[in-house]
């Protein structure tokens, strides 16, 4: 927490009291000896106490279980941090359940609220359509929904959702082609973008 505290204090000092500053943390790192909810609860309470304006809760994405998965490189690499289980939790592929990481954000939100803070909690991870996002919000599992791959697939996702045109949303298949491209220093584009 020392470096996070120092960075936050300096950024807050530079930007002033009204500029929104948030942070992304893992609810669980999904690696041996990594942080789990047990540690993340303590971290989240401290972040809320410090005054961060939001906490975005993710999972995994650690390098430890992805080493050497990309043969195009001549030497074993541990970038990007997906491919091992920790990586799959950070960027859940199609075979993982929808909203697979939401329980982590819900737990962090409960922890922060019980500590007396109203810091908004963001969740992410395979939330492909608006009705699921709305259910997460309605059930109080998070305050905000973060999207990435669905927006690569259909940049108009939020507008279509707002206008009640859910059926027109072109859904991400979570094939992770966009992530594979990034691994080879290519633009992280959707395979189906020009359909």
Read off the DSSP letter of residue 81: S
* Distance of alpha carbon 119 from alpha carbon 22, whole angstroms: 10
Q: What pLDDT, on a 0 to 100 scale, did the predictor assign at position 58?
A: 96
Mean pLDDT value of segment 4-28: 97
pLDDT of res. 66: 64
* Whole-number pLDDT of residue 194: 64
Q: Please report the pLDDT score of residue 68 as a whole number.
A: 53
Q: Which of 25-34, 75-84, 135-144, 177-186 has the highest mean pLDDT?
A: 135-144
> Do residues 106 and 119 touch, judged by C-beta distance below 8 A?
no
Residue 80 has pLDDT above 60, yes or no: no
What percentage of the chain carries pLDDT values higher than 90?
Answer: 72
- The band of 63, judged by pLDDT with boundaries at 50, 70 and 90, is confident
Mean pLDDT (the chain, rounded): 89
pLDDT of 24 > 50? The answer is yes
Residue 115 has pLDDT above 50, yes or no: yes
pTM of the predicted structure, to 2 decimals: 0.89
> Please, which pLDDT band fits residue 79 given cuts at 50, 70 and 90?
very low
Q: Is the peptide bond before 27 cis (omega within 30 degrees of 0)?
A: no
* Segment 94-107, tens digit of pLDDT: 999 999 999 999 99
For 16, 19, 138, 144, 156, the CA distances from 13, given in Å and listed in that order, are 5, 10, 35, 26, 36
- Give percent of the chain above pLDDT 70: 89
Q: Which helix (H) or strand (E) holds 26?
A: strand 22-28
Distances (CA, A) of 166 to 101, 141, 159, 176, 187: 23, 22, 10, 22, 27
- What tens digit of pLDDT does each residue of 33-48 get? 999 999 999 999 999 9
Predicted local distance difference test score (pLDDT) of residue 184: 75
Domains of the chain: 2-152 (3.20.20.70)
| Residues 20, 38: Cα–Cα separation, whole Å | 27
Measured distance CA(181)–CA(42) in Å, rounded: 36
User: Per-residue pLDDT averaged across 151-163, rounded?
Assistant: 95
């Amino acid at each position: 927490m020392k470096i996070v505290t120092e960075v936050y204090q300096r950024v807050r000092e530079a930007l002033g009291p009204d500029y929104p500053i948030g942070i992304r943390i893992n609810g669980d790192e999904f690696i041996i000896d990594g942080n789990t909810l047990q540690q993340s609860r303590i971290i989240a309470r401290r972040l809320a106490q410090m005054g961060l304006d939001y906490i975005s809760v993710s999972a995994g994405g650690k390098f430890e279980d992805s080493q050497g998965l990309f043969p195009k490189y001549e030497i074993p690499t541990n970038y990007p941090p997906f491919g091992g289980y920790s990586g799959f939790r950070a960027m859940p592929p199609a075979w993982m359940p929808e909203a697979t990481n939401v329980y982590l954000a819900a737990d962090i939100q409960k922890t922060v609220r019980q500590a007396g803070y109203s810091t908004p909690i963001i969740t992410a991870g395979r939330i492909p359509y608006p009705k699921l996002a709305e259910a997460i919000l309605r059930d109080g599992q998070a305050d905000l929904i973060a999207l990435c791959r669905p927006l690569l697939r259909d940049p108009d996702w939020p507008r279509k959702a707002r206008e009640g045109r859910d059926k027109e949303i072109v859904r991400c298949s979570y094939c992770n082609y966009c992530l594979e491209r990034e691994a080879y220093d290519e633009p992280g584009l959707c395979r189906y973008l020009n359909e």
